[in-house]
Amino acid sequence: MYENPRLLLDSSNPPEPGQIVWRSPSNLAIIKYWGKHGVQLPRNPSLSFTLSASCTDTALAYEFREDADNRIDLTFLFHGEENDAFKAKTLAYLESLLPQFPFLKQLKLKIQTGNSFPHSAGIASSASAMSALALCLCSLEDALFGTLPDPEGFDRKASWLARLGSGSACRSIFPHAAVWGVTSSVPGSSDEYAVPAGELMHPTFKDFHDDILIVSTREKSVSSRAGHALMEGNPYAEPRYIQAKTRLEQLLGALRRGDLEEFGKIAEDEALTLHALMMCSNPSYMLLEPGTVALIQKIRAWRADTKHPVYFSLDAGPNIHLLYPGDIVAEVRGWIEEDLKEHCVDGWFIQDWVGEGPEEM
């Protein structure tokens, strides 16, 4: 997609040291992407809500290396401490970009990053982390070479870069909502990067809340990367990809109309389908916890009793995303405090909502 000229720095006129900081949010897929091919390309299109409070802050400091060689010089800190696993993943990602960004090996890089929520627990921490890093890299390229002056082009390239690090990360670049994957329902959609979808939404959904009920903070037993790979042998994979395309068209209609009931049905069906696919993999696995099931039952019962449009979703983990419009926030938060917190780790839930997208700090 982006075959840059081989951008290199002029050693006779090196840049001054600098630092770039971005805050990027996680996102919640309503239509799930599960299964990929090639280099982080999706088997089916997906649509996500961009969150706000669940985010990653990433600072990228750089200075010119007089003794540059073929290695990337990286110092990496996660919440102020060294993390060998995250450093190795980040280094592998940066090395994969060297054909487009050879200037990275001319710099001494220091990345400091941290989340506002638990990592590797099914709240799409890779989406916020890799989108924040991709935004830093685009800002770095523009600062050094002036190649990304157009905001739309900047966002598209950031989405493309984020996808190479974590597929779902490409959707975190845009406010409100994003579509990733080719679909005739969204002009300009692509498998290579996400496109903004906020303009396709009724105002009701731009004021939506997503309170995340933390059932478990433990790292998942099976990573999302491994879960995607298991779709290759899943007997339900092909029907699933067809189903996802149909549901996306239905969801877009519901979003345009402001149809809460149709939206909620699709969101819940997609969440349960995702976990059913995991249970049908070979080997099969389950990320749901007893608290997850208890919360789903309580949500369905409360909705039936109160007639409030409150729905659940799940990412690739046990934690419940409670979705509802902003005009009933007082009632829902009271219900969470009274009845749902007992299923959360130390009563912990994250008050989140559909957000405005990343922010350069």
CA distance 131 to 161: 8
CA distance 135 to 54: 17
Q: What is the mean pLDDT of residues 283-308?
A: 97
Q: Which region, left, alpha or beta, applies to residue 124 given φ > 0 means left and ψ of -120 to 50 means alpha?
A: left
| Domains with residue ranges and CATH for the chain | 18-200 (3.30.230.10), 203-350 (3.30.70.890)
Q: What is the pLDDT of residues 47-72, one digit of tens each?
A: 999 999 999 999 999 999 988 788 99
Q: What is the pLDDT of residues 67-115, one digit of tens each?
A: 878 899 999 999 999 999 999 999 999 999 999 899 999 999 999 999 9
pLDDT at 293: 98
pLDDT at 7: 84
Q: Decide if pLDDT at 176 tops 70.
A: yes
Return the structure tokens found at 359: 């922010």
Q: Which residue has the tokens 């919360």?
A: 295
Return the structure tokens found at 352: 């989140």
- In this structure, what are the phi and psi dihedrals at residue 267, rounded to the nearest 5 degrees? -60, -45
Q: What is the mean pLDDT of residues 139-145?
A: 96
* Mean predicted lDDT score pLDDT of the chain: 94
What single-letter amino acid sits at 16? E
Band of residue 286 on the pLDDT scale cut at 50, 70, 90: very high
Contact between 216 and 316 under an 8 Å Cβ cutoff? The reply is no
Is residue 283 reached through a cis peptide bond, with omega within 30 degrees of 0 on the bond before it?
yes
Q: What is the pLDDT of residues 259-278, one digit of tens each?
A: 999 999 999 999 999 999 99
Q: What is the mean pLDDT of residues 110-137?
A: 86
CA distance 316 to 124: 8
pLDDT at 225: 86
pLDDT at 74: 96
Contact between 262 and 250 under an 8 Å Cβ cutoff? The reply is yes
The neighbour count for residue 351, using CB atoms within 10 Å, is 14
Return the structure tokens found at 283: 């080997």
- Percent of the chain, pLDDT > 70? 96
In terms of pLDDT, which residue wins out, 219 or 256? 256
Q: Decide if pLDDT at 209 tops 90.
A: yes
pLDDT at 121: 54
- In this structure, what are the phi and psi dihedrals at residue 209, rounded to the nearest 5 degrees? -105, 150
Torsion angle (degrees, nearest 10) of CA 198, 59, 139, 201: 0
- Kindly tell me the number of DSSP H helices and DSSP E strands found in the chain: 9, 13
Band of residue 312 on the pLDDT scale cut at 50, 70, 90: very high
CA distance 242 to 246: 6
CA 344 to chain centre: 22
Q: Which residues contact 142 (CB under 8 A, 6 or more apart)?
A: 148, 149, 154
Q: Decide if pLDDT at 159 tops 90.
A: yes
